Structure 1
């Protein structure tokens, strides 16, 4: 057999890291310090997450003012306590804005950015939820209430406030999920939890009007629900702060994306972690190509596909090395099922996939696949090459030379050798393998 493609560029494990597309560091060519200065010039108006965070602060300030005014007019202690609770939300919204604005900053001290600030803020918000639950529970136990029943218009005003946190919180969660902002999602959930607080106040005021103390039992139930919401946010934030792995479904999607590339022989390991709303991915793969330039180009294509398959990927780190040559897969062009070697690559009706053990010098397995493109008038050779690349052969054997032809270039680009053989049938080709 005459080998037509041979790469002698040897190789060892090489690590390569790029940073483009998908995250705030897309197309990064600047030094970390320059990145920090660039991030500092970003305005809140240019970031939808920051805009909603600012709107959250304004809504909370408005709620505090309205509740304090109503409590002063009506003398309701429940309304006053609810206003104090909203002041806590103001601090939470302020922390949210700080987290969103500074999380993407980069510097020499923090070259990977401060994305985890968002998760830290989410944890703080969860603690504020616990504080909210405590306040409601204490209110239920102490049974604070106004000395006199409030007017009906106060009850209507409180009723008008009830849907505000529900609507805005749902909007905030939706935007947070769209832009993968954990702190914004956490703040939105806290807003929705505030609906329960508003209902407690409404029930207390309504009960006073009819002489029924209904708020204590409801307050206890609400406190439990808020603790549950805070616990979910706390666990989610702590997982990221402790570098827990991203979910298995996303890891499988990344692994499948890498395996789809014909240059890849084995995906040995895929790791990933969250940092704020962004993902950091690391993979260790074995390439069938031994030429470092080709391996570099293949890793570029893989990174691009990972960013398309998985949103918000900020960084991809790929360690790659040549495939260990313990086994070789041959793809042999056949003219018939009897094993006759075909002299026309694109028109070959069948291909034999032969797995050969180099150490044992023996055939481990053999499979015959058909060629669905043999009747095409144009482009059959390239389609057959793509068909074979999906089967990940190391060597393609045919009765004609593929040097200088489209299929030969496509196979060589993926690190696959092409061999022209004078053997008459598959049995002779197998014998040549053993004698190689």
Structure 2
């Protein structure tokens, strides 16, 4: 079960993300509307078909911004008919924006091949004004892409890329006007080449959005982070299946996990820890479903504190210089593997026991031996929460402890 504090924090983060994304989309709408008005005004002064076409292109951006706002609003709605939310609406909006990019590419190419413009003379300040307009979509697009990545909004990223494409189209307009100003009509061939780059940008947006709409897997880095979060739990032996997909800017995760033998309550606690860890490590996780399954064990792992590398068992837990890890085969009752690890918590001034216990949990022991009881100490609580058993031993050397464990396991097998 998810930690309520984690859920509450995730809810606050999500509301903040929704607020920021809506704000950025609204900024985009305002800037696009202003660009349309300014370009139409300059087109009237210069009598430029190219500048007029660019104004039409910016009006398409206004429609895209409206679609973006609608998509962001609808993507957060849930109902009985759509219990998983309408998050993919954002990806549908991104597809629409990609189609608008394709249309823009065609528009620029057609204008470059057939548009002649008019011979109306214009002042040099028009060129300066158009040159200034080039920077506006670049700055807005860069801002949108950055915020879209920060808040994992595919439609915001797509809209930002579309604005950066506008830099090319407005640059074509500028060079067309500049060429006309000096009587050098060189803009048509360049416009066709740029239209090809614009179409390629639209393909990138369309490809990314369609992957999500078709439930493609998440990127490898995020998948690896989720896998590490699952394997970090001391109850987990392995992962039998892990699937994760994007829906809008949110992620849905499902994993079939092999766990140490435990009861239903223990499996539920371990599943809750895994869910919380995934939510902490991976942003915008909407749902995590863990299916625990018992795993057949070929060995039992024991841990014991040591004074030295010769195998003298330490009477102290947190202050022990070393820990020995012992894998004893379940069927034959023999030592299969032995490893001695340094205790990084030994030199700490405080919380030596709890830090040593946390270090051992990373090694996934089943049983921890000590010469003194851990009852009432912080280390015991760490082991108890992870369902790791603790036992007392009167053995003074590691060899004696191994012999005793092997005999105990063989006796259990005979029974």
Same fold (TM over 0.5): yes
Distance 1:141 1:401, change over 3 A: same
| 1:205 and 2:177 matched | yes
Distance 1:156 1:312 in 2: 44
Higher mean C-alpha displacement, 332-341 vs 137-146: 332-341
Greater Cα offset, 379-388 or 193-202: 379-388
- In structure 2, do the counterparts of structure 1 residues 23 and 370 end up closer, same or farther at CA, with 3 Å as the change threshold? closer
Which of 21, 26, 49 in structure 1 is aligned with 2:11?
A: 26
1:23–1:312: 8 Å Cα contact kept in structure 2?
no
Q: Number of residues paired by the alignment?
A: 408
SS in structure 1 opposite 2:364? coil
Q: Which moved more, 1:192-201 or 1:360-369?
A: 360-369
Q: Counterpart in 2 of 1:250?
A: 222
Q: Give the deviation of 1:231 after TM superposition.
A: 1.0
**1:307 offset after TM fit, Å?**
1.8
Partners of 2:244 and 2:252 within 8 A in 1: yes
Aligned pairs for 1:34-433 within 5 A:
47-288=19-260, 290-334=262-306, 337-339=309-311, 344-346=316-318, 350-371=322-343, 379-422=351-394, 425-429=400-404, 430-433=406-409
**Consecutive unaligned residues in structure 1, runs of 5 or more:** 1-15, 28-38
Q: 1:366, CA displacement in angstroms?
A: 1.7
Q: Kindly indicate whether the alpha-carbon contact (under 8 Å) linking 1:282 and 1:316 is maintained by their aligned counterparts in 2.
A: yes
The verdict on how the C-alpha distance between 1:361 and 1:204 changes in structure 2, with shifts beyond 3 A counting, is: same
TM-score (norm 1): 0.83
Whether the 8 Å CA contact 1:245–1:273 is kept in 2: the answer is yes
For the residue of structure 2 that corresponds to 1:171, the secondary structure is helix
Question: 1:72, CA displacement in angstroms?
Answer: 2.9
User: CA contact under 8 A between 1:267 and 1:286: conserved in structure 2?
Assistant: yes
Question: Aligned residue for 1:434?
Answer: 410
Is residue 145–residue 204 contact of structure 1 (8 Å, CA) maintained in 2? no
Corresponding residue SS for 2:206: helix
Choose between structure 1 and 2: higher helix proportion: 2
Give the superposition deviation at 1:122. Answer: 0.7
CA 1:294 to 1:73, structure 2 compared with 1: closer, same or farther past 3 Å? same
Residues 409, 25 of structure 1: CA spacing in aligned structure 2 closer, same or farther, 3 A cutoff? closer
CA drift of 1:19 comes to 9.0
Summarize deviations over 1:5-61 as a string: whole Å, max 9, x none.
Answer: xxxxxxxxxxx688985799728xxxxxxxxxxx9xx9x997121122122222222
